[in-house]
Copies of this chain bind each other. A is one copy, B any other.
Amino acid sequence: MEERKRSDQSNPYPSHGSGMESAQVRGKVGDTLEGTIAFRVVVALRDDIVSMALKPGDVISESDIAGRYGVSRQPVREAFIRLAQQGLLLIRPKRATVVKKISPDGVRQSRFIRESIEVEIIRRVASRPGTEAAEVLAKLILDQEAASAANDSRRFHKLDELFHRTLARLAGVEYAWQLIDDHKMQLDRVRYLTLGVSSSQRAIAEHKQIAEAVARADVAGAEAAMRAHLGRAEVLLNQTIEDFPDYFE
């Protein structure tokens, strides 16, 4: 069940959605509203949307969801507000609330944002040849190969995400990753439509190129490898738009 844990507010400072996972101690987590009904509804709905159980264009309503989860309308309403701000729902006052369709241009700009930040991150990491970086990255790639060999695509996806977040941590801007993570939700919906063909082999090869460039402090090489790695998402998007035109604007 995995239980994606998000703080959803009290986000450690500038970002919005947040996304600290893999439950370390992380300061004190005590001050958040994880135990509330509204929070549970947010998590459930977000998972349903990202996993495409709720499809873009589907109309839902406060009473509808409230009844389905056996709770009152109030926490559902608050969940709607949060998800609307995260760009997953569209609240049309007095009319209805619909699962937002995916905006191709929006996804492209999310990719632009991600590439901008990750390029800057990889530059920082590669320009400081820290001994820790090489080891950690190498180990992660080994894990990815194991997951790929075992055909565990879910685990591979998590490791892929961890690889990128680790780079952010090494650059000292882990919160910046939370931002990328929020925007990645949009792309994750696309990714979910094309599951199985993830071609993890190629991704692993690209990760190796990035890690090797970092190890030899090759800034330009690392940047090029990262751009190539992220650039592949573009063709994925275009293909998906053709296959599922109804889910896009």
Contacts and interface: CB of A to CB of B under 8 A. Distances in A.
Interface string A101-112: 001011101101
A46 interface: no
A9 B100 CA distance: 11
Contacts of A11: 85, 87
B112 A173 contact: yes
B109 A120 contact: no
Interface of A: 8-17, 31-33, 35-36, 77-78, 81-82, 84-87, 90-93, 100, 103, 105-107, 109-110, 112-113, 115-117, 119-120, 173, 175-176, 179, 182-183, 186
Contact of A9 (B14, B85, B116): B85
A167 to B, nearest CB: 13
A78 B13 CA distance: 20
Contact of A110 (B14, B85, B116): B14
Contact of A106 (B13, B82, B92): B13
Given A113-B179, A119-B116, A120-B115, A87 B186 contact: no
Contact of A175 (B35, B36, B109): B109
19 contacts: A9-B84, A9-B85, A11-B85, A12-B103, A13-B106, A13-B107, A13-B186, A14-B107, A14-B110, A14-B113, A16-B86, A31-B92, A31-B93, A77-B78, A78-B81, A81-B81, A109-B175, A112-B117, A113-B179
Contacts of A113: 14, 117, 173, 176, 179
Contacts of A179: 113, 179
B14 A16 contact: no
Contact of A109 (B91, B173, B183): B173
A15 B112 CA distance: 12
Contacts of A115: 120
A183 B14 contact: yes
Nearest to A38: B81
Given A13-B106, A109-B176, A85 B87 contact: no
Contacts of A84: 9-10
Given A36-B93, A175-B109, A87 B117 contact: no
Most buried by B among A91, A112, A119, A120: A112
Given A14-B110, A175-B109, A33 B87 contact: no
